Structure 1
Amino acid sequence: MRSPSPTPKTAPSLGTPPVAKDGTSPDLALCLKLIDQLGALRQGMLGREQAMAEELAKVRPEYRDSARNLIHYLTLRQVDIRPQQEQLVWLGLSCLGRSGSHVLANLDKVLGLLHRLTNQPWQDTVAEKPASSRELLKKHTFNLLGQVPVNRPVRIMVTLPTEAATDLNMVRDLVDAGMDIARINCSHDSATDWQRMAANVRRAARAAQRPVKLLMDLGGPKIRTGQLAGRPPVLKLKPGKDELGRVYRPARLHLRPINSVELMPETDASIGVWDVWLARLKLGTSINFSDARGAKRHLLVIQNNEKGAIAESLQTAYLTPETTLTIGGTGGKKKHSTLVCQINSQPGALLLRAGDSLRLTKEATGTTEALEDDSAEPRPEMAQVAVTLPQVIDQVKVGERIWFDDGRIGGVIRHKADAWIDIEITQARPEGEKLGGDKSINLPDSQLNLPALSAKDIEDLTTVAAEADMVGLSFVQKPDDIALLRDHLQRLGRQDMGIVLKIETLQGFENLPELMLSAMASRLAGIMIARGDLAVECGYERLAEVQEEILCCAETAHMPVIWTTQVLEFMAKTGLPSRAEISDAGLGVRVECVMLNKGPYIIQAIRALDDILKRMVGHQAKKRPLLRALRAWGSAGNMASDAMLAALKTLNDDHAKHNASGSC
């Protein structure tokens, strides 16, 4: 903490300010008023810093300056100073729009110039030059995310697919294309898979002769729909047809023994049949059957080996377990038949339209009928699905909103009982939306008290601590969540592990300052903006604003940011980017790391992002930030003193008389 200079420094006199013909000096009066207002703002910063001395004492020494600056910045943003910004620009001074990196030092510079303009002494209370914000951010980023790539200021993170556990060449391709950080999602695959993925990442990094960091995301308290009863198994065989309905590619069906799970490549589907019947098939054998609609259909065997047979169809056909396949029966040959013994069941799904009712239950019931309850009228034949975290039923309230499947389906809670809640569907496409099992649930209006780490997360931490450089804390909402994770990392001997706060809920966003201060008690910390869940929680129309506030907050704390969700997603899936996502990817130069999700064209997406970021590095944002009051962010956001607010109250109605000009 900086101490006041022992010897006040007084600015030299600039003489008497110019006086207008009527004997007044408008600029002088404006300068004096700004000195009073900005002085009150400065006192508010120092007062709040003193009030939060206990919290600052918990921050590690290397983050102390960053934590103080965060407190100063949030105090500044508790009031709307846009009128003062216009007045400062009119005077040819900095409007404080770029002051976030070192708030107090920049405010003191402006106050010093205002004192000189009014021929008043100014005491410089900063005894030492503040550390460079750029150097602080660079240092924190290097420690957490590793060295910066050549000719690119932003790291590229890639989510590893399951194949990364067994395909070393694929991981090498990711590293060679430009992957700087590999991400493993602990919500999928197993601990053994994660260990193999980590080993392959290390091998690929050694081959490329450059370090590649590893982030492992804990699953966290993810609220999802439970599994639904599977639909009756139906297999649709459909050949490829052109716009005139002409077949250009037959449908290919793999016929395999019922005790086999090995599939043949380059087929559209697979079914299990009786082994004795399958052994009678030969190249060119014709298979006849009536499909589920009663339509007569034929299959022609084109391949036969120990794995089974491949047969082609030129017509669309629907097969069920009741379908009988027959060979022979012509030219005096004996008929041989088999039932379709094995067809993969289709996952269950509910078709929901606006106005429908849905019951969310604590336990799966295996039926779509309503549960009886004394507190409400039973609703027969109501669609229902269980929730993976039953305790949320107790914590929600009637009238609160609920979203399913990343915001595709919206509703409002209308009734509540001990074991369930009834939801009115308010948002879905006119033709309806299908809701399946294991789909996300968001409750943006609800104050949920969920465990930061599930039993599975605590078990997963053993592998994470052994393999990863960083751990992602999913759905973090309060400082105690971070403290709990730190306790477990200490138990595992990994106090040095970096902690990445995944901001993906409204409560996490509103508590961001407290979360950041708590994370600064760790050796390494960063922020991940999970734009998917965050958009659902805050509303898509607010996502840009929310993202901007998180970026501003992170900049003042000199904390690295990872930007995620749908970056070049269309390109990773199809190989061709959309115009909008190219522009979106270009904004990645504002953060320290951009994450790409897995997809069949992920190599092309990495190379495209690498090229985009290299091209954008030389461009600057041509804007002047306007410092309106930020939305309250929990207790840490309430940093403005009553005296400061009173001093600035009258100014919020006082607008500049001249248009702003010049840079900030």
Structure 2
Amino acid sequence: MFGTKRGGLLTIKLSESDLWPGKESPAQVIEELKSIRAEMIADASQSAPRLDQVHANYRDSARNLLHYLALRRRDLRPLQLRLAALGLSSLGRAESHVLATVDAVLEILYRLTGSPRQAIAPEAAPIDFETGERLLADHTEAMFGPAKPARRVRIMVTMPSEAADDYTLVHELLQRGMDGMRINCAHDDAVAWARMIEHLRRAEQELGRSCRVFMDLSGPKLRTGPLEPGPAVIRVRPRRDVFGRVKTPARIWLTAGTAPRPAPSRADACLPVPEMWLARLRPGDKVKFTDTRDSKRTLVVSDVMAGGCWAEASKTVYIDPGIVLRHEREGDDREGVIGAIPPTENAIDLQEGDQLILTRNLEPGRPATRNGAGQVLTPAVIGCTIPEVFDTVQFGESICFDDGKICGMIEKVETERVLIRITRTRLGGEKLRADKGINLPESNLRLPALGAKDLEDLTFVAKHADVVELSFANCSEDVESLQKNLKRLTSRSPAIVLKIETRRGFDNLPDMLLTAMRSPCCGVMIARGDLAVECGFQRLAEVQEEILWICEAAHVPVIWATQVLEMLAKEGMPTMAEITDAAMGDRAECVMLNKGPHVLNAVLVLDDVLRRMQDHQSKKSAMLRELRLARARRAEPGDAADGGA
């Protein structure tokens, strides 16, 4: 090491032995970075025709994405360690400004080593740190609108069906911090969707706030078909304390079978009975019968009202149509027969090792039939909603049902059916019901993202939505199809969001992003439910990180979705794990909540969590605000004498 003084400034020049004692020459690192840079420039140059198709809003972003993909094609960990040892950028935060980061590190290395600067290959001006941050912020605001004060990350809420008739719910969601209203086209209809949007626009005016409408196309969701109805039987039981004593009798609503009235409040069962027999009941009367188990039971009439009466049961009863009810009162001994009862929902019990037959048609399926010893005579059968998958699936591929609760392996593929061996359920087995999701993570499915229902719904969506969410986006052709249909239906340019929920969609994300960037505004949703099943639960954390990195390089906003604060929204109390998960959502530009009875409280909690995390984290960077723990511990005058730290 030596120094020279020129014009009052001291210039220090490090020799290679000073810079890296016992290590390889810094010149090698410079050459490696130059090689990386050359690959980045070459990739962007080769993709020039495709870059020309990108919308002007994303031209620089698309080039930065290509630079990032070139950078991440190699294992950078050894290079990162060498750069970090020098106190230089290890390239770990280069996503939004890749070329500028590499150029800055090269410039410092040239200065440190005194090496002559090399001629730089011609390239558009690199996106610097400030510009990269600004582009992502601009694209996020274009999709979601302005951010709330002190909260950069937006909150999206999925609308329940009640939002079509309950203006107060929509008003309170907006008041508590909702930035995006998500309408799932898999539920309700255009009339209900229009009322939801009408409620939102009214609430916006009253509160002076803005909120974007996101409409989620159903997409080719593969689901189980219908099942034969279960038996028409109702089990009714009272609530008991820990000692088995009755705390609250079961409440049964008796109503006329010819003109049934709904129960005025919560009922454990509603039973249709003859109108004339019902009219003779009085409070305190006893109704006796024998239930389906041949157990003698008694109901006590507690209240008589217009259209029906309440009766209470202090023992568990099993009731089916045709049971004879005897009204016993002195001088009046009449009988009434219970009328039709809706059949129960059927389900297939499955355990590891069981066989399941998946059929091409949608004829109602049924559980397995067994002999007296419990041995299976005929395996369980169920249909699937998209029979075209039978043309693609192969022997040995995996298949999952109901968000991965049940998994199996395809043992045989026939023309009209697929034989499946169940390989995983929870201990004790699992029930498979109708209309549950099916995932084929290893199958090369070629299903278009827009089905007949989506094209029909798109007429409404193109007119009313601010943002269109493309479910099960798997390839650039899916994105092109949505763009072409939107152009056909409207002169507006609603933003588009690619929902990444399959392994194929994840693998094709860069290609789909470059296609989506032909639109003025685009984003990505990490749909973690199906994605976890498709990629494997143990790999989900890794996959969602990679999606975040790729999208930041493209300056494209990300929506963090599925099961965020789910227990809080549904049960009213969050788990510790889901609070941590919600905090991790700060890495995205938006966090989505699903519907639930306690969703209003969930919005408040999520808003608070995101505001707190904003002081600590920005994308991949830790923000070093003042640490309370450090402030709380100050050296006292007597610490040194007492041997304190």
TM over 0.5: yes
Alignment partner, residue 217 of structure 2: 218
In the alignment, which residue of structure 1 is the partner of 2:354? 356
Partner Cα distance (1:463, 1:301) in 2: 51
Shift in Å at residue 425 of structure 1? Answer: 0.2
Q: Is the 8 A contact 1:17 1:25 kept in 2?
A: no
Q: Cα offset for 1:226? A: 0.2
Aligned to 2:232, the other structure's residue is in SS state coil
Deviation at 1:394, TM superposition (A): 1.4
Q: Aligned residue for 1:208?
A: 207
Q: Secondary structure at the match of 1:421?
A: strand
Answer whether contact 1:17 1:28 (CA < 8 A) is retained: no
Percent identity, aligned pairs only, is 46
Measure how far apart 1:14 and its partner are: 6.0
Kept in 2: contact 1:358–1:384 (CA 8 A): yes
Residue 555 of structure 1 corresponds to: 552
Q: Which amino acid aligns with 2:313?
A: S
Distance 1:224 1:20 in 2: 65
Q: Which one of 538, 543, 557 corresponds to residue 541 of structure 1?
A: 538
Q: Is the 1:14–1:119 Cα contact (8 Å) retained in structure 2?
A: no
Question: Following the alignment from structure 2 to structure 1, what is the Cα–Cα distance between the partners of residues 431 and 285?
Answer: 40
* Deviation readout 1:278-306 (Å, 9 max, x if unpaired): 22223333221111111111112223223
Deviation at 1:334, TM superposition (A): 3.1
Give yes or no for the alignment of 1:478 onto 2:483: no
- 2:446 matches 1:449: yes
Matches of 2:361 and 2:398, distance apart in 1: 21
Q: What residue in structure 2 maps to residue 662 of structure 1?
A: none
Q: Which amino acid aligns with 1:42?
A: R
Is 1:60 aligned to 2:55, yes or no? yes
Q: Which residue of 1 aligns with 2:405?
A: 408
Structure 2 CA distance for partners of 1:469 and 1:560, relative to 1, 3 Å: same
How many Å apart are 1:190 and its aligned residue? 1.5
Q: Which amino acid letter does the alignment assign opposite residue 192 of structure 1? A: V
Kept in 1: contact 2:163–2:196 (CA 8 A): yes
Say if 1:534 and 1:119 are closer, same or farther in 2 by CA, change over 3 A: same
Q: Residue 58 of structure 1: SS of its match in structure 2?
A: coil
C-alpha contact 2:99 2:127 (8 A) present in aligned 1: no
Count of residue pairs brought into register by the alignment? 603
Describe how 1:394-473 pairs up with structure 2 within 5 A: 394-473=391-470
Structure 1 residues 40 and 244 mapped into 2: Cα distance closer, same or farther (>3 Å)? same
Distance 1:541 1:369, change over 3 A: closer
Cα distance, 1:333–1:588 mapped onto 2, change above 3 Å: same
- Do the aligned partners of residues 262 and 466 (structure 1) sit closer, same or farther apart at CA in structure 2, a change above 3 Å counting? farther
- Mapping of residues 366-377 of structure 1, within 5 Å: 366=364, 368=366
Give the letter aligned to residue 343 of structure 2. Answer: S
Per the alignment, residue 310 of structure 1 pairs with 310
The answer for the alignment partner of 1:246 in structure 2 is 245
C-alpha contact (below 8 Å) 2:588/2:619 kept by paired residues: no
Q: Which has the higher contact order (CA 8 A, sep 6+)?
A: 1
Encode CA deviations 1:26-50: one digit per residue, 9 max, x unaligned.
5895210011111111111111111
- Secondary structure at the residue paired with 1:391? helix
Q: Give, in angstroms, the shift of residue 240 of structure 1.
A: 1.0
- Residue 116 and residue 246 in structure 1: after superposition, are their counterparts in 2 closer, same or farther (change >3 A)? same
TM-aligned CA deviation for residue 622 of structure 1:
11
Partner of 2:274: 274
8 Å contact from structure 1 (residues 292, 318) kept in 2: yes
**Cα deviation 1:182-214 (Å, max 9, x = unaligned):** 111111112211111111111122221101111
In the alignment, is the contact (CA less than 8 A) between 2:410 and 2:421 conserved in 1? yes
Q: Aligned equivalents of 1:288 and 1:399: distance in 2?
A: 57
Helix, strand or coil at the partner of 2:408: strand
**Which whole-Å deviations, capped at 9, do the CAs of 1:492-530 have from their partners, x for residues lacking one?**
115410111100000000000011111101111111001
The Cα shift of 1:121 comes to 2.5
1:629 — aligned with what? none
2:116 aligned with 1:121? yes
Q: Does 1:77 align with 2:77?
A: no
Counterpart among 499, 513, 521 of residue 524 in structure 1: 521
Indicate the residue corresponding to 1:296 in structure 2: 296
Please show how residues 21-100 of structure 1 align to structure 2 within 5 Å: 26=21, 30-100=25-95
Mapped to 2, the partners of 1:584 and 1:134 lie a distance apart of 24
Residues of 2 paired with 1:573 and 1:325: CA distance? 39
Q: Distance in 2 between matches of 1:138 and 1:307?
A: 60
Relative to structure 1, is the Cα distance of residues 466 and 305 closer, same or farther in structure 2, using a 3 angstrom cutoff?
A: farther
Aligned to 2:136: 137
What is the identity, as a one-letter code, of the residue corresponding to 1:496? S
Residues 129 and 394 of structure 1, relative CA distance in 2, 3 Å threshold: closer
Tell me how far apart the structure 2 counterparts of residues 235 and 357 of structure 1 sit (CA, whole Å). Answer: 30
CA distance in 2, matches of 1:288, 1:225: 42
Does residue 334 of structure 1 match 2:333?
A: yes
Determine the C-alpha separation between the residues in 1 that align with 2:316 and 2:367.
35
Give the CA deviation at 1:128: 4.3
* Partner residue, 1:6: none
The question of whether the paired residues in 2 share the 8 Å contact of 1:223 and 1:442 is answered with yes
Change (3 A) 1:400 1:608: same
Partner of 2:190: 191
Specify every segment of 5 or more residues in structure 2 that has no aligned partner in the other structure, as ranges: 1-8, 370-375, 623-645
SS in 1 for 2:387: coil
Structure-2 residue corresponding to 1:264: 264
Question: Which shows bigger deviation, 297-306 or 524-533?
Answer: 297-306
Q: Deviations over 1:96-116 (max 9, x none)?
A: 111111101110111112222
Unaligned runs of at least 5 residues, structure 1:
1-11, 372-378, 626-664
Residue 374 of structure 1: aligned partner:
none
Letter of the 1:254 counterpart: W
Q: Distance in 2 between matches of 1:480 and 1:14?
A: 57
User: Taking structure 1 as reference, are residues 275 and 370 closer, same or farther at Cα in structure 2, changes over 3 Å only?
Assistant: closer
The one-letter amino acid of 1:212's match is C
Q: Report what 1:227 is aligned to.
A: 226
Q: How far off is 1:16 after superposition?
A: 5.6
Find the aligned partners of 1:269 and 1:196 in 2 and give their Cα distance.
33
Deviation at 1:127, TM superposition (A): 6.9
Q: 1:19 to 1:397 in 2, by over 3 A?
A: closer
Would you say the 8 A contact 1:35–1:111 is kept in 2? Answer: yes
Q: Which residue, out of 499, 509, 519, partners 1:502? A: 499
Measure, in 2, the Cα distance between the counterparts of 1:127 and 1:385: 58
2:436 counterpart SS class: coil
Looking at structure 1, the residues matched to 243 and 557 of structure 2 have their Cα atoms a distance apart, in angstroms, of: 55
Correspondent of 1:108 among 103, 106, 111: 103
**Partner in structure 2 of residue 642 of structure 1:** none
C-alpha change, 1:49 and 1:128, in structure 2 (3 Å) is: closer
Question: SS where residue 303 of structure 1 aligns?
Answer: strand
Partner AA of 1:157 in structure 2: M
Q: Which amino acid aligns with 1:539?
A: G
Q: Per the alignment, do residues 394 and 261 of structure 1 end up closer, same or farther by CA in structure 2, a change over 3 Å counting?
A: farther
Describe the superposition over 1:224-269 as per-residue Cα deviations: whole angstroms up to 9, x where unpaired. Answer: 0001011011111111111111111111111222243634222222
- Contact 1:476–1:503 at 8 Å: present in 2 too? yes
C-alpha distance after superposition, 1:138-172 (max 9, x if no partner): 11011111110122111111111111111111111
| Residues 137/159 of structure 1: CA separation in 2 closer, same or farther (3 Å cut) | same
Report deviation, 1:310: 1.7
Does residue 589 of structure 2 align to residue 599 of structure 1? no
- Is the 1:564–1:594 Cα contact (8 Å) retained in structure 2? yes
